[in-house]
Amino acid sequence: MLTEVVRLNGALKAAPLPLDLPGVSALRVGREQVIDQLEDYVIPRLAEVEAPLLVVVGGSTGAGKSTLVNTIVGHKVTTPGLLRPTTRSPVLVHHPDDVRWFGVDRLLPDLARVLDATNDQNAIQLVASPQVPRGLAILDAPDVDSVDERNRELATQLLAAADLWLFVTSAARYSDQVPWDHLKIAVERNTAVALVLSRTPADDVATVSVHLARMMAARGLKDSPLFTVAHGTVSDEGLLPTSYASEIRGWLDALAADASGRRELVSQTIAGAVRTVTRKAFPIADAAALQVDAIAELLVIADKVYDDAQAELATATADGTLLRGDLLARWQEFVGSGELVRSLEAKVGFVRERLVNAIKGKPQQAERVAVAIEMALEAAVADHAERAAGIASDAWREKEYGDALLAATADDLTRAGRALRSRTEQEVRGWHEELQEFVRHEAGDARHSARFLALGVHGLAVTLGVVALAGPAPRGQSAEAVRLGQTLLETVLGRDATDRIINQARGTLARRMSTLMGAERARYLAPAAQWELKPDAPHQLRQAARRVDDLRFAAAKKGTGEHL
């Protein structure tokens, strides 16, 4: 059972509810409560079934809880609050031989352990007292109806970690709603409960206790013990006369002495807590499934937008679209005047000679072409990324919960990523280096020829870049440019090698552009990814809850009294 409960806890943690879908607020609270119940009580208790019975003394403000604890123990172990709220840490009183059971790695692991009185509401003061029987510990909790929010939260947390509630109220407070709300939770969890009617004038005890007993019966607590503690004078040490709490002390001593009875009581409380957790797990799983569907719908929108943007960018960088403006002008400067273009119709040998002669001594112009290629590619990437971000964010805003995802990250998803420019520069430089490597590899022995030396690796690389950008079917001015560039490459490298490196250049450019747009797309995955809500989380949660339920049902059917 312990292993499956731990898995259930993990499945609950893996099913956050980040989107504000209808009804999700209450389920978020419920999810946190069941996780707390598992981590504060069920898992530690299943791991240490022989640990002392933990009796949590809780209840209303002014009911005399701390006074009762002191009286039960027989000496002052906790300070009654004279002012409300009592902003102090809870106090756990145990037998000295039981100290090992209450380390920070046991029950309530989120609360530090201290040995001295403190006002730290994130700590438990441990008090060892030989007056407390072995096998039992008493924890004095803050008021469930405290005006201090942290006190109320702490009281709820401590009661959820109890094997037994000793719930204290008074004639003035016994009908208040807040305490009964907590007792309702105890009934739902089948937690063992005993009520104490304290600070009630002697003349009113009979009337109030009868009314309280009726209220208990009507609310599912008819089998719970009801004790009365007479109203009396509290000593300077914070105690009532010992006889006032003798009935409660005797009952607790009997529980401590009865190992079988303790196990039965603990089993009852654990089983009830587990049943409550599994019952709440299924609505949480259903809500998580709706969250997954909503997030998936938004991510599908982003995927479609960026698929389109990536396809459009791939086309723009391979159909001659970029061979215009400054890039085309720089290329034409590099290859020479219009006469050179017209000379393509002359004899091949003459053309090749003119082409090579035209390019000799123009390294600066080759560099200008390289810069123009970089600028054209960077502008194309930025343009497509900006448009994709705008389209995707607008489409998300049209959905009911799109704004939640847009607001879930510090990154401005309405614009291209801040790192896009530097990434693009790196990819474009990397592409140019690849072009140079392609040229070197295919040139072989030709690297020592006059034609190769005339153009140089850089000149041939920018020529290859222009031809690659022109695509396989260029039109207009780009058609003339690509014919000229391809002829240059063939003049130096040969036709087969030229065809090979052109295909390589186009392929590597396409992959680099895809990488850039993929990084932009990934920005839209980040909000969902940071929530760690995996698509199979609802299924995993249901499966984990079913496994725990199956084990609980099997143990109940056997009637073995096993710890669940």
Confidence of residue 452 (pLDDT cuts 50, 70, 90): low
Question: Whose structure tokens read 């009507």?
Answer: 218
**What three-state secondary structure class fits 27?**
helix
Question: Angle of helix 2-13 relative to helix 24-37, nearest 10 degrees?
Answer: 150
Residue predicted with more confidence, 497 or 450:
497
Comparing 149 with 28, which gets the higher pLDDT?
Answer: 28
Is the confidence at residue 487, as pLDDT, over 50?
yes
pLDDT at 342: 44
pLDDT for residue 447 is more than 80: no
Q: Which residues is 535 bridged to in the sheet?
A: none
Taking the C-alpha atoms of residue 554 and residue 559, their distance in angstroms, rounded to an integer, is: 9
369 CB-near residues (< 8 Å, 6+ apart): 327, 330, 331, 334, 462, 465, 466
Reported confidence tier of residue 199, pLDDT bands at 50, 70, 90: confident
Where residue 480 falls among pLDDT bands split at 50, 70, 90?
A: confident
Rounded Cα–Cα distance for residues 148 and 130 (Å): 33
CA dist., res. 280 & res. 202, Å (int): 44
CA distance 386 to 378: 12
Q: What is the rounded CA–CA span in Å between residue 270 and residue 273?
A: 5
Going by pLDDT thresholds of 50, 70 and 90, the confidence category of residue 485 is confident
Instruction: Tell me the percentage of the chain whose pLDDT exceeds 70.
Output: 90
User: Residue 276's CB: how many other CB atoms inside 10 A?
Assistant: 21
Residue the block writes with tokens 């709300």: 181
Residue 261 carries which DSSP code?
H
pLDDT at 402: 87
Q: Which of 100-109, 415-424, 434-443, 513-522 has the lowest mean pLDDT?
A: 100-109
52-72 residue pLDDT tens: 999 999 998 888 899 999 999
Neighbours of 554 (CB within 10 A): 13
Q: How far apart are CA 388 and CA 410, in angstroms?
A: 18
Q: For residue 413, what are the CA distances in angstroms to 193, 248, 311?
A: 53, 63, 20
Residue 454 has pLDDT above 90, yes or no: no
Contact 90, 154 (CB under 8 A): yes
| pLDDT band for position 538 (cuts 50, 70, 90) | very high
Reported as a single tens digit per residue, the pLDDT across 380-399 is 999 999 999 999 999 999 98
Summarize pLDDT for 122-133 with one digit per residue, the tens: 899 999 999 999
- Going by C-alpha positions, the residue among 239, 251, 273 that lies closest to residue 55 is 251
Is the model's pLDDT at 344 over the cut of 50? no
Band of residue 357 on the pLDDT scale cut at 50, 70, 90: low
Average pLDDT over residues 41-45: 92
| Nearest C-alpha neighbor of 86 from the set 122, 119, 55, 57 | 119
Query: pLDDT: is 153 or 482 the higher one?
Result: 153
Q: Which of 249, 180, 188, 164 is nearest to 214 (CA)?
A: 180
Per-residue pLDDT at 22: 85
- Cα 33 vs. chain centroid, distance in angstroms? 17
DSSP 97: G
Mean pLDDT of the chain: 87
